[in-house]
Amino acid sequence: MQSEDVLIEKCKHLIEEKTGWGNSESWKNQDFTELSEKIYEETKINLSPTTLKRVWGKVKYESLPNLSTLNTLASFVGYENWREFKLKSIQEEQPRITVPQTEVVSQQINPPKTEPRFQTKSIGVFSLILLLTGAGWLTIQTFSKADIKKEDQSSTPFSFTSKPVTKGIPNSVVFTYDATAATTDSVFIQQSWDPKRRVQVPKNKHQYTSIYYYPGFFKAKLVVGDRIVKEHDLLIPSDGWIVTVQQEPVPVYFSEQETRKNGTLGLSPVQIEAKHIPMQPQPPFVIFRNVRDFKGILNDNFIFETEVKSNYNQGSAICQFSQIMLLLENDMMSIPLSNLGCVSDLNMSVGDKFMEGKTTDLSGFGSDMSHWTKVRVESRNKKVQFCINGKKALETSFSNAATRIVGIHYGFQGTGSIRYTKLQRLNGEVVYEENFQTQTAM
């Protein structure tokens, strides 16, 4: 699967949803002319109807759209540019996702008698193969939507807080807000960075709840009109390892007793099929995630070590795509893995850098994933070295501000196992160590 093609299809789908014109299969010339006009109104960039028809496959054209066209399309659906769209696509995630993305299903407390004019759909982790190949991740929480402006929150008459109701996952979060000072009825609560996760709420009421099916770090926002009037960090911890098979709208959870055996954390195809989840023709995606307090360790001063392997290589899972992610506050770092012959489809993100296997040599991340693969990451003063099975796979750097590590995430196409994970500071202080028999560091 070509990840760029999949992302373009996702972007087209978002545009179709935004216009509300239905499936593009039935669009006529006039629709593309009108879409061209709408895009120009919002972005001030002109994409001709012919260009749009090429993107939508109405006109035969073998090449992918150029970057300028992709930047404009991404901007039209609320992203700064195509690169940001790539980084934040999980989901529908997508996650979407999640990446491995983050699933949110919303409920209102004391709902009004009439339906809100604006209602978002619950969106799951979008095409988790993108997550596994590094094309996107639902917990990248950076928010930079062009048409939403942030106000000075120090003197605002609005208030906005949140409180999880329990420990672990799933978890409902109660948002308490005061937007009575709003001069418009367009009051929204946005549960994370993703503008599609925004739901209109009555300005004269004060509570709203959402269900989070995945742990993670979120930036919750109270939006009035086109302005963010209040926002705050929201950490949903996992209370240990959460193991799921992605499906909509609720993931399939596996207990610790089912997944922790003989010094490993993992799932077998038999266990998955026992829950009536087919392994073919499209293999499922298994997610292992632990979100917690890692004692303030930062992403510019750490060593991370782990051992992983894939437990499935049949049919369309032949590449055994796998992904390890260090989840950060407002950021993430990914380590993609696959069989050596599939490294062209790998992508990875390190801070402000997004690297594609099509244009970057990521062959060092290729391994025989049916056997245990050792992974080591060392970050020193924002210079990061990745080693696979004792050999340097990549050395790079990032310029983002250093931020806290809040979670460890593993994703496997088909399924997989983890044998060991360790996170420590450069001075040797072990922050977290797990051999899946006894936990030796918290």
pLDDT at 154: 54
| Greatest Cα pair distance in the chain | 65
The answer to whether 222 touches 139, Cβ cutoff 8 Å, is no
Q: What are phi and psi of 292, to 5 degrees?
A: -165, 180
pTM score: 0.69
pLDDT tens across the length of the chain (442 residues): 346 777 888 899 889 888 888 888 888 877 888 898 889 888 888 888 888 988 998 876 666 788 889 999 999 998 888 888 887 775 444 333 333 333 333 333 333 333 332 232 332 333 333 444 333 333 333 333 334 455 555 557 899 999 999 888 999 999 999 999 998 888 999 877 666 677 889 989 999 998 888 898 888 899 898 788 999 999 999 989 999 998 877 899 999 889 998 899 999 999 999 999 999 998 999 999 999 989 999 999 999 999 999 999 999 999 999 999 999 987 889 999 999 999 999 988 898 888 888 889 999 999 999 999 999 999 999 999 999 999 999 999 998 899 999 999 999 999 999 999 999 999 999 999 999 985 444 4
Give the domains, in start order, of the chain with CATH numbers: 3-102+122-132 (no CATH), 149-236 (2.60.40), 243-441 (2.60.120.200)
Query: What's the angle, vertex CA 144, arms to CA 195 and CA 133, rounded to 5?
Result: 80
393: region left, alpha or beta (phi > 0 left; psi from -120 to 50 alpha): alpha
DSSP result, 78-113 = T-SSHHHHHHH--BTB----------EEEEESS--S
pLDDT, tens only, 19-61: 888 888 888 877 888 898 889 888 888 888 888 988 998 876 6
pLDDT in tens, 111-162: 333 333 223 233 233 333 344 433 333 333 333 333 445 555 555 789 999 9
CB 286 within 8 A of CB 414: yes
Which residue type is seen at 383?
A: K
The phi and psi torsions of 58 (rounded to 5 degrees) equal -80, -20
DSSP bridge pairs for 326: 333, 408
E strand or H helix that includes residue 354 = strand 353-356
